[in-house]
């Protein structure tokens, strides 16, 4: 059946993009070919925080062990993180794809853990999963370890990160690294005073591994700390975007703490957050220290309803702490108008999915790598209700008890036929 057109009628194919059964009713979100599907969050999300922790096989335990830290379990040793899984949207089938750490961080920010050939340093191309990043802890008794990133693990100029997509959209982004002494610091920084002291690992700071962020100049071969207050050679762009997590004796500029002051009025649209190795569950901490840090950090934020009204916080782990595979703890935290509270997803996801989700939230497009084909984690969110505008835009939500023929949507006749659904007036 198809209605005829008159001089005032408009015809456009409309597609069903959401169908939710509730109390015997079906809810349909319809849009015409001239309109894009709604973003995750329906454009309500203004701020995204991505907190990346270390070695988080879920639920943990002795077989296999929790990362490098022994027989820890989330239920026993991380009551706060465990509680979040029932309060917010938990990705219950989120799989690790990379080992060791750096690969996970690069996937989350760039959609790949592989590197193209780079004639500049003679690299013929490699992937981190088959060319692991070596441990930097060669001198554990030193107050500082003057070791930095490997040049072969730097993405060459032309390889973009999510920072580029955000820039193109006119959005503000920052990476905040706990215990990093200066902005854009491309060396480890460890101190035993107090004990445990500063434990910043550069391979938990993915953005300095992009020449497009760090700058196209030569990376330093020796650690300049503390000879300069401007980090180790990164250009001004990097120093404006890759910042210390909180104010320290060595840095008094913009930090996450200053951005969160006064209700987060200066908070960037996207914030990448990496705790130090005491608090992220890495080499100098454990699951319990991570749980305490997350609780301390999140409690004031979650109590600020004004800030959280337009904010989503993702928490995930880089990998399971072992070369194989396994489930990673990953959760989305936000207001009930955006994030599905008390929901556990069974859909398989991974770091590519999380990157694609952030891209979708802000309407960034993609980097053209594995993020382009990844499935966004849309089921963690309340279905976006697009604004009802015109026949060429979103048509809104309609609830019906069945699928009769015809169906009227916002004053337009929707006909059920073997042809595509058509909306006419």
Structure tokens of 235? 């250009």
Q: What is the pLDDT of residues 16-41, one digit of tens each?
A: 444 444 444 444 444 444 445 668 99
The pLDDT of 353-372, averaged and rounded, is 96
Please tell me which residue, 285 or 99, carries the higher pLDDT value: 285
pLDDT band of 195, cuts 50, 70, 90: low
* pLDDT number for residue 121: 55
Total count of residues recorded for the chain: 425
What is residue 184's predicted lDDT score, i.e. its pLDDT?
86
- Which residues make Cβ contacts (< 8 Å) with residue 147, sequence separation at least 6? 136, 138, 187, 188, 223
Average pLDDT over residues 287-307: 93
Q: Does residue 144 or residue 61 have the better pLDDT?
A: 61
Mean of the pLDDT values across residues 209-224? 72
pLDDT tens sequence across 375-421: 999 999 999 754 433 333 334 444 434 444 343 343 333 333 333 33
Residue 218 pLDDT: 58
Which is it for the CA torsion 341, 345, 350, 353, positive or negative? negative
pLDDT tops 80 at residue 104: yes
Structure tokens at 38: 């709604």
Determine the average pLDDT of the residues in 203-218.
Answer: 83
Percent of the chain at pLDDT above 70?
A: 61
Most confident listed range (176-180, 182-186, 244-248, 420-424): 176-180
Q: What's residue 91's pLDDT?
A: 97
- Choose between 326 and 393: higher pLDDT: 326
User: Biggest alpha carbon distance in the chain?
Assistant: 83
Higher pLDDT, 257 or 404: 257
Residue 413 burial (CB < 10 Å; 0-12/13-18/19+)?
middle
Q: What is the pLDDT of residue 125?
A: 64
Of residues 118, 119, 115, the one with CA closest to residue 129: 115
Lowest mean pLDDT, pick from 277-286, 336-345, 395-404: 395-404
pLDDT at residue number 386? 44
pLDDT at 325: 73
Residue pair 223/230 in contact by the 8 Å Cβ criterion = no
Q: How far is CA 99 from CA 25, 156, 319, 326, in A?
A: 46, 21, 6, 11
Instruction: Report pLDDT for 185.
Output: 84
Sign of CA dihedral 306, 84, 329, 356: negative
254: nearest Cα among 199, 193, 183: 183
The confidence score (pLDDT) of residue 197 equals 62
> What domains, with CATH codes, occur in the chain?
12-38+385-411 (no CATH), 41-380 (3.40.720.10)
Q: Is the pLDDT of residue 66 over 60?
A: no
Residue 287 has pLDDT above 80, yes or no: yes
Among 305, 257, 297, which residue's Cα sits nearest to residue 80? 297
- Reported as a pLDDT band with limits 50, 70 and 90, residue 316 is very high
Whole-number mean pLDDT of the chain? 73
């Amino acid at each position: 059946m198809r209605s005829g057109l008159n001089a005032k009628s408009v015809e456009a194919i409309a597609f069903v993009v959401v169908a939710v059964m509730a109390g015997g009713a079906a809810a349909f979100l319809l849009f015409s070919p001239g309109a894009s599907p709604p973003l995750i969050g329906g454009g309500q999300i203004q701020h995204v925080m991505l907190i990346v922790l270390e070695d988080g096989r879920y639920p943990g335990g002795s077989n296999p062990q929790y990362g490098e830290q022994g027989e820890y379990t989330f239920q026993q040793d991380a009551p706060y993180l465990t509680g979040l899984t029932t309060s917010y949207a938990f990705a219950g089938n989120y799989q690790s794809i990379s080992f060791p750490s750096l690969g996970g961080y690069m996937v989350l920010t760039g959609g790949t853990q592989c590197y193209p050939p780079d004639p500049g340093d003679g690299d013929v191309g490699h992937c981190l999963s088959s060319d692991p990043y070596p441990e930097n802890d060669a001198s554990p008794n030193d107050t500082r370890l003057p070791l930095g990133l490997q040049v072969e693990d730097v993405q060459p100029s032309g390889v973009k990160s999510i920072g580029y997509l955000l820039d193109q959209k006119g959005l503000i982004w920052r990476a905040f690294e706990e215990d990093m002494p200066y902005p854009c610091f491309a060396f480890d920084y460890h101190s035993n005073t107090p004990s445990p002291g500063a434990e910043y690992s550069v391979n938990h700071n993915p953005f300095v591994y992009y020449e497009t962020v760090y700058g196209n100049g030569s990376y330093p071969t020796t650690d300049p700390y503390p000879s300069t207050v401007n980090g180790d050679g990164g250009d001004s762009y990097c120093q404006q975007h890759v910042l210390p997590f909180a104010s320290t004796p060595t840095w008094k500029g913009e930090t996450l703490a200053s951005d969160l002051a006064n209700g987060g009025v200066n908070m960037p649209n996207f914030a990448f957050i990496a705790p130090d190795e005491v608090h992220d569950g890495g080499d100098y901490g454990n699951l319990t220290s991570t749980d305490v840090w997350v609780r301390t950090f999140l409690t004031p934020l979650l109590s600020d309803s004004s800030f959280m009204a337009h904010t989503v916080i993702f928490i995930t782990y880089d990998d399971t702490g072992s070369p194989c595979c396994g489930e990673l703890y990953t959760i989305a935290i936000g207001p009930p108008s955006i994030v599905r509270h008390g929901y556990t997803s069974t859909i398989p996801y991974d770091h590519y999915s999380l990157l694609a989700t952030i891209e979708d939230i802000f309407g960034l497009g993609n980097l053209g790598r594995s993020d382009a084909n990844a499935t966004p984690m849309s089921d963690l969110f309340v279905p976006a209700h697009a604004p009802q505008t015109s026949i060429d835009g979103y048509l809104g939500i309609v609830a019906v008890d069945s699928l009769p023929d015809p169906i009227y949507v916002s004053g337009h006749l929707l006909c059920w036929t073997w042809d595509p659904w058509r909306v006419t007036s």
